[in-house]
Amino acid sequence: MTKIEKIILQLSIILSVLLFFSCSEDSNGAIVEGCTDTEACNYNNKANKDDSSCEYDIDIIGNCCVDNVVDCFGVCGGAYEFDDCEECQIPDGPFWNSSCSGCMDPPAINYDSLFTINANCVYDGFADTTQWELVWNDEFNLGYIDQSKWNHEEWGPGEYNNELQEYTDRSDNSYIEDSCLVIRANYDGENYTSARMTTRDKGDWLYGRIDVKAKLPSGDGTWPAIWMLGINLEWPACGEIDIMEHINAENVIHGSIHTSSCYFSMGDNYPGECPDYQLQSFNQINPDFPNTHKTNVNNITGWHIYGIEWDASSISFFIDGNIWMRVHNTYGGQPEWPFNQPFYIILNLAIGGNFPGDPDNSNFPHEMKVNFVRVYKSINE
């Protein structure tokens, strides 16, 4: 072997050794573990030993999803999943399973074959179905409060009307029992708690019929209410419709409207400067005010259906299907009649405040129960 051939052989050996170590060690001579699959989104071109860490999921913005799962919205580590309706939602969130929940029983008046989770069937057509079409309802038979329909408003005592309760979303203040919503006011010796629930941003309506079947508490300082507020502007400009208010142990309920031109806290201007709403009384009680009235109720703590029928010209108030009051549009513009916009529903049980006065602390807890809330639109619209 010539000298040149020996040199070439030595160089070849050195090169082979260098290539071996460059393929099996890092620059420090160590084994580098990682994903060695060039098809993976986390391929490591410096790895020389595969550690089964390869990932192939890329999220919606092109990031490699390592140590997490791409959710149904395409977000790495996102919280969304497909619900039983095959909709991408937050698990147990306000809209979970909501899109396919509805009445699946053919005999019911609100049967719909498209639903896959049975809920809210209506069998007793309390409203005349030749005049009214059911468009929204809650029969409270899911076993839990339907967050796709209801919000809990939360604030401390004294926020409005000098009321004493704190409004909470706790399960001891609002819950479902025997296919009824229960709003429960508690007193622990120091603090009063209760619940206030609304359909705001989840259900609002312009005109129609509202029916609420409820059972009221009776006792000093109690103030249950079924009412509505307009979705636009602040109170009182937004307008208020009090379908039912009850205080203390009275055997009467109150119904009212409130507007920028006529509301209780106007001071000396109330009621003298209120517009004439042509309030009609259909009972034996003469109205004392232009925007509010009351009616006697037999068995005030029993089940009754409180409702309104509302159109562009008037709002009529009902109990158990019997009209007892009507107010009329003044056609004096928004300050006098803001009831030409959508309104949402509120259910609450207040304690104390300007209207009922102080509670009897020995008589707690108090409960308002609601069997159903139903909203209809006129077939003739």
Evaluate if residue 19 carries a pLDDT over 80.
no
pLDDT at 297 over 60: yes
Active-site residue flag, 240: yes
Q: At 158, is the pLDDT very low, low, confident or very high (cuts 50, 70, 90)?
A: very high
Q: Which amino acid is at 55?
A: E
Percent of the chain with pLDDT over 70: 92
Of residues 290 and 74, more confidence is placed in 290
Average confidence (pLDDT) over 313-338: 97
Of 240, 309, 336, 367, the active-site residue reads 240
pLDDT, average across residues 125-145: 89
pLDDT band at 28 (very low <50, low <70, confident <90, very high): low
Q: How far apart are CA 111 and CA 114, in angstroms?
A: 9
Write down the pTM of the prediction: 0.80
**91-95, 119-123, 135-139: which range is least confident on average?**
91-95
Catalytic residue among 55, 245, 309, 367: 245
Asked if residue 22 has pLDDT above 60, the reply is no
Using the predicted structure, report yes or no on whether residue 375 has a pLDDT greater than 50.
yes
Contacts of 360 (CB under 8 A, 6+ apart): 219, 220, 221
Q: Residue 361 carries which DSSP code?
A: G
235-268 pLDDT, tens digit each = 999 999 999 999 999 999 999 999 999 999 999 9
Q: For each of the domains in the chain, give its residue range(s) and CATH number, in order of start.
A: 3-50 (no CATH), 124-378 (2.60.120.200)
pLDDT digits (tens, 9 = 90+) for 96-125: 887 788 888 898 888 888 888 888 888 876
pLDDT score for 157: 97
Which residues are within 8 A (CB) of 10 and not within 5 positions of it... i.e. 6 or more apart?
A: none
- Residue 133 known to be catalytic: no
Average pLDDT over the chain, rounded to an integer: 90
- Tokens linked to 110: 């609100």
Q: How many C-beta atoms lie closer than 10 Å to residue 139's C-beta?
A: 22
